[in-house]
Structure 1
């Protein structure tokens, strides 16, 4: 007769692991809600614990503290951003579409993080990773216009493409000027055309 102890133990361990993962997800979600609304240095683990329905000790045991929780939440942000920014190299319309969609989804949260990076080293680190990701995305997405250039010309063109699609460009036009997402897309396409030496935006691409 075979013992059922091992399958039962495996089931209990699996259930425990799933419960721990669900707890971690609640903590991350609670932190993401708080950082979208508050300054990083005023957010407390007590607030996050209360919102997630756990204890502060649970957060510390799982993440070690608020800084590690920030890094974990930002890793999740980056995974989502990477998924939203999927576009074939050379697809200008697609690149404009996904970058504006991305900023519409998380632009305000990232801007809040950028506003705090001079005094919060942990935010400076995650923002630096975001800047590196954006530049790498530019180099991949606009590869057809970069391959034949010298190193200096390539760097200058990438700089122009980064500036044309930067979060601050979105923020200036979308938030400060109060324009529509379509207006931002049209403007970004015009800026990209200039950076790439192409003709102006096609007819019909109006705000």
Structure 2
């Protein structure tokens, strides 16, 4: 029983990795279960048996990606440089795929669910890593969180790195400067 359970998990992981790899390069609607099966070296029926279909597979893959992102985002509280470094490591690795994925929110319910979870996860992370600088509960805290969220969003990374073509060092410097400038402890109106 243990060996069979391990084999099932290996198959599930291989299918999720194949789907994620395809979805980082192509639109969700353009990737068929057959494409995923071919990439994973399994049958379409295997995917259906494990995930119920494409949407169930998307939900499972998003859950795994969220857990991996949570593990990768380790930064000391209040260390702006470390926070920016952690974000850029993630964004350089999967920022383009994230932008492609989120561009489909309005068309694909599984993506909308994954994006909503990712937004909550990012906000929770911001509350942890900037706990030393955020005001107490209330409107000022919400305002500060919104500013920090905007300053660390993947779309700002995309603007700097892809649209404007900034070198990574320059983009990281810009994000550090932005985060430093919105520190509520500096006396700005909140």
Range of TM-score over shorter length: over 0.9
Q: Which consecutive segments of 4 or more residues in structure 1 shift more than 6 A?
A: none
**Which residue does 2:33 correspond to in 1?**
45
- CA offset at residue 112 of structure 1? 0.5
Deviation at residue 196 of structure 1 after TM alignment: 0.3
Instruction: Name stretches of at least 5 consecutive residues in structure 1 with no aligned partner.
Output: 1-12, 200-207
Aligned residue among 24, 35, 40 for 1:36: 24
Q: Per the alignment, do residues 89 and 53 of structure 1 end up closer, same or farther by CA in structure 2, a change over 3 Å counting?
A: same
Residues 86-107 of structure 1: CA deviation (Å, up to 9, x unaligned):
1121111111110111111111
The 1:150/1:18 distance shift into structure 2, 3 A limit, reads closer
1: distance between equivalents of 2:183 and 2:91?
22
The aligned counterpart of 2:166 is 179
Please, which of 122, 128, 141 is the counterpart of residue 116 of structure 2? Answer: 128
Could you give the per-residue CA deviations for residues 178-199 of structure 1, whole angstroms, max 9, x where no partner exists?
1122111100011011110578
2:57 to 61, 64, 69: 69
Helix, strand or coil for the counterpart of 1:116?
A: coil
Match of 2:69 among 81, 86, 90: 81
Report deviation, 1:126: 0.6
Alignment of 1:136-151 (within 5 A): 136-147=124-135, 149=136, 151=138
8 Å CA contact 2:22, 2:31 repeated in 1: yes
Q: Is the contact made by 2:144 and 2:182 (CA closer than 8 Å) also made in structure 1?
A: yes
**Larger relative contact order, structure 1 or 2 (CA cutoff 8 Å, min sep 6):** 2
Whole-angstrom distance in 2 between the partners of 1:50 and 1:159: 43
Alpha-carbon offset, residue 167 of structure 1: 0.7
Larger Rg: 1
CA distance in 2, matches of 1:102, 1:68: 25
Number of residue pairs matched by the alignment: 186
Equivalent-residue separation in structure 2 for 1:154 and 1:18 (angstroms): 46
Superposed CA RMSD in Å reads: 1.4
Q: Could you tell me how far apart the structure 2 residues matched to 1:95 and 1:188 are?
A: 10
Q: Is the 8 A contact 1:100 1:184 kept in 2?
A: no
Gaps spanning 5+ residues in structure 2: where?
none
Q: Is 1:166 equivalent to 2:148 in the alignment?
A: no
- Cα deviation for residue 70 of structure 1 reads 0.6
Deviations 1:119-166 (A, max 9, x none): 11221111111111111111111001114x451111111111111111
